[in-house]
A and B are shown apart, each in its own frame.
Chain A
């Protein structure tokens, strides 16, 4: 196997760290070369939907891929409720718990339309129409006089018995109605249950939403998940035939191993493998198969919370890393 394959054995992994550095091998140069990188680096997009993206970064080091993953989770900015002002809350859910729940609701607000809150300013002047979106939640629960007789369903018996994320309404401030005209401010997932009410109970509040990053609080993270896995490699060393091939096939998820006309097992799609190592538990296949993963082939899966498209989140992570490098490049060095 090549030296860019991480070996996966019964109870351990081998060859896990990269060695592509100058001075490591006498036959290869391994110096940083942007032209060489341009030639070798590749992106393969599997699918991009409204909420999820799945793509491969090929021939790139773990340190760089991992930086993008970490940045997508913790450093790409998004908008979430930061301050909640309660006017009335007679529900059974406490003020602070309700405020916390509202904070965690993913909002469909384009982060590029807001500025950062200047924390150095006085608290009374800090929040403006440029950096804060106000959402209101006003619900009163009442009896439904037209409820069917003998009904025990709260949704039929009462009006507004359930408070959902979609009940959060945008309160445009200043020029915001114009600014957010093309991207209406709503909760990304309208059916998140916030609280349950009974007749006579009432919730009335205002939520102030600002820009933030995931490293400050998870509610600001623009992704539900951003992860990568390495491309699996299945190397069949000796032919596996007949009924043995059928059993071999069963060791992998469906679609990974296929059997040809001669009854011999072959690898059809290693990408689908979960690398469960089931095959290594069977003595029958001992020495006949070698499992591994490509160290420089990353299969990314990015799931957005709804404010931005997943590909935009990846773009922004690249720009964040670039900005970090350029900023630090120009910082004066103090003693």
Chain B
């Protein structure tokens, strides 16, 4: 219980700071039919995304020890839709797992960006093609 309260508090903070700057697409992500009543298993449909985000988010959600199953599919190649299914062991909801995954992915990108700029600044690499 204590864990889930912490998560929701962090969520609120993030929303408050970022909501003022940007408008969000209300149609971007929706809940698909077939979720469990307690919300620990659910499928989402994301519009205008493909394997680029689909596979990355699948990987990072599968890395969550609270998640039992995560999979994604592009239901039809000529529709720009991405379906993602998440089932947890019951301690967190599927939506929480999705949000944690997205946070982890953003954090991962920050690490990569910082590390790459470090290496560029450090120099020591060749500037001509061998």
Given known A31-B63, A64-B108, contact A47–B125 (CB-CB < 8 A)? yes
Given known A64-B59, A333-B44, contact A23–B108 (CB-CB < 8 A)? no
- Chain B residues with CB under 8 A of A332: 24, 26
A21 at the interface (CB under 8 A from B): yes
Query: How far is B25's CA from A30's CA once the two chains are assembled, in angstroms?
Result: 34
B19, A334: Cβ atoms closer than 8 Å: no
A318 at the interface (CB under 8 A from B): yes
The DSSP consensus for interface residues of chain A is: mixed
Given known A48-B125, A328-B28, A334-B29, contact A41–B115 (CB-CB < 8 A)? yes
A175 at the interface (CB under 8 A from B): no
The DSSP consensus for interface residues of chain B is: helix
- Chain B residues with CB under 8 A of A15: none
Query: How far is B130's CA from A328's CA once the two chains are assembled, in angstroms?
Result: 42
Residue from the set A31, A43, A54 with the largest chain B CB neighbour count within 10 Å = A43
Number of residues on chain B facing chain A (CB within 8 A): 56
B105, A43: Cβ atoms closer than 8 Å: no
How does the 8 Å CB contact mask read for A184-228 relative to B, with 1 for contact and 0 for none? Answer: 000000000000000000000000000000000000000000000
Minimum Cβ distance to chain B for residue A318 (Å): 5
User: Which residue of chain A lies nearest to B47 when distances are taken between CB atoms in the complex?
Assistant: A331
B129, A52: Cβ atoms closer than 8 Å: yes
- Chain B residues with CB under 8 A of A167: none
Given known A63-B59, A314-B116, A324-B53, contact A38–B31 (CB-CB < 8 A)? no
List 9 A-B pairs, minimum CB-CB distance, nearest first.
A32-B63, A322-B109, A47-B126, A63-B59, A22-B65, A45-B125, A329-B102, A325-B105, A63-B55
18 A–B contacts, CB within 8 A, in A order: A22-B65, A41-B112, A43-B115, A45-B120, A63-B56, A66-B55, A66-B56, A67-B52, A67-B55, A315-B113, A315-B117, A319-B113, A321-B53, A322-B113, A325-B109, A328-B28, A332-B26, A335-B31
Besides the known contacts A37-B108, A49-B128, A74-B52, 19 further A-B residue pairs in the complex with CB atoms under 8 A apart: A29-B65, A34-B111, A37-B111, A45-B119, A45-B125, A48-B125, A48-B127, A61-B59, A63-B58, A311-B120, A318-B116, A321-B52, A321-B105, A322-B105, A322-B109, A328-B102, A329-B102, A331-B28, A334-B30
